[in-house]
């Protein structure tokens, strides 16, 4: 399971459902309606999303990770859909294109600060 903490968990979950065709498999909400914990099925893997914890502070250099999804041949449409959804408000460091290791890939930090890479 991958766990990510964001500010705006309800909006983030809706974005990830649209980007990855993800389904909610388990959820617990905070009193304010944000997610204490929600599990999304993202291509057979669990992505857990929680509202950012007030005591967690800001991210620390060296304590950052990237979610890399190696999709494999025939999954070009899934990569294109995810890119089109995630790119709004994102910092794009590798736009959707071919690269030396993949015929199709992208890399970006979405508007919630989550670092994504998807490739064939």
Q: What does pTM read for this prediction?
A: 0.89
Residue from 88, 80, 77 nearest 110 by CA: 88
Predicted local confidence at residue 54, as pLDDT = 63
* Choice between 71 and 54, residue whose per-residue pLDDT is larger: 71
Q: Which CATH number applies to 64-120: 3.10.20.340, 3.40.190.10, 1.10.3720.10, 3.10.180.10?
A: 3.10.180.10
- The upper half-sphere exposure of residue 93, i.e. CA atoms within 13 Å in the direction of its Cβ, equals 11
pLDDT in tens, 3-42: 999 999 999 999 999 999 999 999 999 999 999 999 999 9
Domain extents for the chain? 1-52, 64-120
pLDDT in tens, 39-67: 999 999 999 999 987 655 565 555 678 99
Looking at the chain, how many residues does it have? 120
**Which fold is adopted by the domain 1-52?**
3.30.720
pLDDT in tens, 89-118: 999 999 999 999 999 999 999 999 999 999
Predicted local confidence at residue 7, as pLDDT = 92
């Amino acid at each position: 399971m991958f766990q990510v903490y964001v500010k705006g968990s309800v909006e983030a979950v809706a974005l990830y459902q649209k980007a990855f065709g993800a389904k909610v498999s388990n959820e617990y909400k905070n009193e304010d309606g944000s997610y204490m914990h929600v599990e999304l099925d993202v291509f057979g893997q669990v992505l857990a999303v929680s509202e950012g914890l007030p005591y967690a502070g800001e991210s620390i250099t060296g304590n950052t990770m990237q979610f890399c999804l190696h999709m494999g041949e025939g999954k070009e449409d899934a990569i294109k859909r995810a890119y089109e959804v995630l790119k709004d408000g994102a910092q794009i460091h590798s736009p959707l294109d071919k690269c030396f290791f993949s015929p199709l890939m992208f890399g970006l930090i979405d508007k919630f600060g989550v670092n994504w890479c998807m490739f064939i």
